[in-house]
Amino acid sequence: MNRQISTVSKNVSIYQKIGYLNSSILFWTLNTLFYVYRGLNFFEIAALQSIGSIMSAILEVPTGWVSDKYGHTNILKVSSIAKVFAVMFMLFANNFWIFLLSEFCFSLGAAAQSGTDSALLYESLKQDGKEETYTDVISVVRSRQSLIRMVVRLLAPVLYALKPEIPFVVSAVIYIGIVILTYQYVPLLSIENDKTEEQKSVSGNWFAVVREKIAYFVSNKSFILYSLFSSFLMISVSNYCQYIGPYLEGLGFSVGYLGIVTSSSSIGEYVGIQFVDKVKNKCRITTLMTCIAGIIALFVFCSGMFNTIPGTIVAYFMINALYAPFNILLGSELQRVIPSQRRATMLSISSQLDDLFSVLTDPFIGMGIDRLGFGMVYHVVGALTFVIIITAFVLIRRIKAPDSEEAE
């Protein structure tokens, strides 16, 4: 029992430290500038980003399956090492192909981490009967991460201006620190799969195993709805944040001050998480989650009508302030409806859906903005998102306990 408590506390502590270090990575807001600095044209940059998204989507489920089968800590070691190689390749890259190699390492690192770190955290808490504190742990980490990102978004351009390579060198050192911490994770006790006779009979047939896993995925209606819920809202928020810079510039805003705007959104994330922590126990999580998502959709819809710099900045601030706690609540609900032996795989599938929706919709939203303008496109995106959210909420309320009982 003492070892179990030690395992829980140590894994939670390591998860928190790694989360803070990941938020300290400096180059994410600068990588496009660095690509240009190293001689890539915009077509090559777009190709890298598209290939990276496709590779991440392809690697999500295999890395999740390996994590469930061979241990979460082992795949997290692969993830952390891959990211070190990624930033080192980027630091010394001078042509498209080396940057592509870096992109592959980042895709592997991101896919291997996606779902696995949160699965390890949840299972560590569950072994001590404290899984209900999962949301509290995540809230603490995410709120502090938002404050760290605020500083990073202000500091990174300053260091880049001194010498473009400095943010990448610092990031490489941080990633090496993450590798060291990852090797300190305590492996969990073996999770025994309660196989039915049918599952045991097909265990030697690879196609039968795949068929059985697909059948389970399809039967878990709560998981499907929550994942789709996440993907549709992610489309609205991620694209809005992606195009906010050019839109503000078109309204006459000085891009030189954009770092202040993006940093202030981190304050919004922090405030939003603190607010939700205070009210989450006073109403049903699905109800609170749907209300937050609905308000986000309304802000996206209304942002097209503001057509002013102050109005757009306020909408951007509020969308980020609401989306951060929504992600925490949704993650908690996903964990609740997934069984232990499939946790990392199912979370990877959810992340894969996000990647696939992004790959499929991003070109159409970009094309729409080119032809119709930012405002009109986000009228449509916001309205569609709101309708989808209400529909998903109604369907979720109709689903009874079987999924959650099976997850237990």
The rounded distance, in Å, linking the Cα atoms of 385 and 372 is 19
Q: 87-100, pLDDT tens digit by residue?
A: 999 999 989 999 99
Identify which has the larger pLDDT, 397 or 275: 275
- Decide if 229 contacts 330 (C-beta within 8 A): yes
User: Is residue 120 over pLDDT 70?
Assistant: yes
Q: Is residue 402 scored above 50 in pLDDT?
A: no
In this predicted structure, what is the pLDDT of residue 399? 65
Query: Residue 404 has what pLDDT?
Result: 44
Looking at residue 98, what is its pLDDT? 94
pLDDT digits (tens, 9 = 90+) for 59-116: 887 888 888 888 889 999 999 999 999 999 999 998 999 999 999 999 999 989 988 8
pLDDT given for residue 197 in this prediction: 42
CB-based contacts of 39: which residues, under 8 Å, 6+ apart?
A: 94, 95
Spatial distance between the Cα atoms of 313 and 319, rounded to a whole number of angstroms: 10
In this structure, what is the dihedral angle of CA atoms 105, 320, 155, 175, given to the nearest 10 degrees? Answer: -30
Handedness of CA 202, 208, 213, 215 (dihedral sign): negative
- 359 and 50 in contact (C-beta within 8 Å)? yes
Q: For all residues of the chain together, what is the average pLDDT?
A: 80
User: Rounded to an integer, what distance in angstroms lies between the CA atom of residue 87 and that of residue 71?
Assistant: 26
3-state secondary structure of 204: coil
Selection from 171-180, 222-231, 323-332, 370-379 with the highest mean pLDDT: 171-180
Residue 180, pLDDT > 90, answer: yes
Report how far residue 355's alpha carbon sits from residue 231's, in angstroms, rounded to the nearest whole number.
8
Banded model confidence at residue 193, pLDDT cuts 50, 70, 90: very low
For the record, the structure tokens of 62 come out as: 């295999």
Q: Residue 276's closest CA among 259, 295, 257?
A: 295
Q: What is the pLDDT of residues 365-394, one digit of tens each?
A: 777 777 887 778 888 888 888 888 888 777
Q: Which residues contact 36 (CB under 8 A, 6 or more apart)?
A: 42, 45
